[in-house]
Every structure is written in C-alpha cells, then in structure tokens.
Amino acid sequence: GDSVTQMEGPVTLSEEAFLTINCTYTATGYPSLFWYVQYPGEGLQLLLKATKADDKGSNKGFEATYRKETTSFHLEKGSVQVSDSAVYFCALDSNQAGTALIFGKGTTLSVSS
C-alpha cells in the first residue's frame, strides 16, 4: 500500500542554520504531497503542498519540490528560527480527492538560539 517515510528525529539545529527533513513516498498513481507542522499542544497545520511532479510548494520560508524520479518531497529552509521548533509531518493523498491522507511518523525539530 501507499506509504510515507520520513527521517527520524529529533533534528537539533542552531538558529540560522540550514534545514533539510527528508521524505520519500511509495504510491501507485500520482499522489499529491503535503507538509504539515504541529506546534506543541496544537493540531496539525498545512505548511505547503505540491500536486504534480516538479511542483515546488513554499510557505514561511520553507520549500519542498515534488520529485517523481526519486519519489521524494524533502522539506528545506535556508535559515531556521527558534519559532520553527515543532514536529513536521510529510503526507500524501493517493486519490487526489483530498481524502484519507497518509502521514509519515513525524520529525521533531528543535532550534536553539
């Protein structure tokens, strides 16, 4: 079945460091891909998305490019801030109808000043 694999955390960085969180997927067809972020004590929030190969999603300085050839959707940010500390989830929607998202296990990011 369809699945998402994320790099294990926690990821610990200093402020202004470069961030990469790896995400790869397995899916039949052409899924849409998402990154969600969960701040402590809150629900998940959509961070960015991409719906087809080579699309780049971006938001709040974060970017991810849909790479069909490597089945990847890695999250990057050029300069992290303390306020970026959260859990990041990669997800896919296999039927393109916005239903039944399949999530990775999440990667905890901790940024120190």
What separation in angstroms does the CA of 79 have from each of 14, 54, 63, 67?
9, 23, 12, 23
Residue 31 interacts with other proteins (CB under 8 A)? no
Q: Which of 52, 60, 68, 105 binds other proteins (CB under 8 A)?
A: 105
Residue 53 interacts with other proteins (CB under 8 A)? no
User: What token pair was written down for 62?
Assistant: 């974060």
Residues 56-95 that bind other proteins (CB under 8 A): 89, 93
Q: Which of 13, 23, 44, 92 binds other proteins (CB under 8 A)?
A: 44
Q: Work out the number of other CB atoms within 10 angstroms of the CB of residue 68.
A: 12
User: What token pair was written down for 82?
Assistant: 């303390």
Binding site for other proteins (CB under 8 A): 32, 36, 41-46, 49, 89, 93, 97-106
